[in-house]
Structure 1
Amino acid sequence: MFANTPEPPYYAVIFTSQRKEDDDEGYGRTANLMVEMASKQVGFLGVESSRDKDGLGITVSYWDSLDAIKNWKENNSHKKVQEKGKNDWYSGYKTRICKVERDYMSI
């Protein structure tokens, strides 16, 4: 499903991660909880996510401002899950933040 974003400009947070080989079933539940929590944050616009069979995942969340992104990053529950990800779930990750200047869609 495509996120239903407004007319640009808005912001995208691109989180690319490599899962460790150990599969913790709590990961999926926690990931779903994070999306649910993020969707209740002021400025949240939507999310798109995918993970391949080798554990490489890309999640793109969309926000109306850099302040909204900062507030989500500093959310206490989110911070706890970030630590768990660093320690237990990911062998590596990278976060990119960018401004969306233009978008278009073809179905």
Structure 2
Amino acid sequence: MYAVIFRATVNQLDPQYSEMAAKLRDIAMKEYGCTEFVSLTENDQEIAISYWPDEVAIRNWKQQSDHLIAQTFGQKKWYSHYQVEVVEIKRSYSMA
């Protein structure tokens, strides 16, 4: 299993951002194999972690047409800085 960690400094979020985020989350989970997506924003910092079965699914998601549009908006409008990390999860455990 893999995770994509997205960290950003928020520049300007608007209603279009909220609509796009909800739409993309739905597409990622229904069509690209994303198994979980968690996002938090505090002050001007945003972090989102999504979980994926493999790197192929992540690469395919990165090239999805609506996601490409969102990336452009992110670069030009929504964020002043962002960083993406793709990591392989070697071990996972939890307490119920």
- TM-score calculated relative to the size of structure 2: 0.92
Q: Output the CA distance in 2 between the equivalents of 1:58 and 1:72.
A: 18
Counterpart of 2:92 in 1: which secondary structure?
coil
Q: Which residue of 2 aligns with 1:24?
A: 14
Task: Name the counterpart of 2:36.
Answer: 46
- Cα distance change, pair 47–18 in 1 and its aligned pair in 2 (3 A): same
Q: Describe the SS at the equivalent of 2:91.
A: coil
- 2:15 is the alignment partner of 1:15: no
In the superposition, relative to structure 1, how do residues 99 and 23 fare at CA in structure 2: closer, same or farther (>3 Å)? closer
Aligned-residue sequence identity (percent) comes to 31
Q: Secondary structure at the match of 1:105?
A: coil
The count of aligned residue pairs is: 96
SS in 2 for 1:72: helix
Aligned equivalents of 1:23 and 1:49: distance in 2?
Answer: 14
Q: CA RMSD in A?
A: 1.2
TM-score in terms of structure 1 length: 0.83
Give distance in 2, aligned partners of 1:16 and 1:56.
7
Q: Please list every run of 5 or more consecutive structure 1 residues that lacks an aligned counterpart in the other structure.
A: 1-9
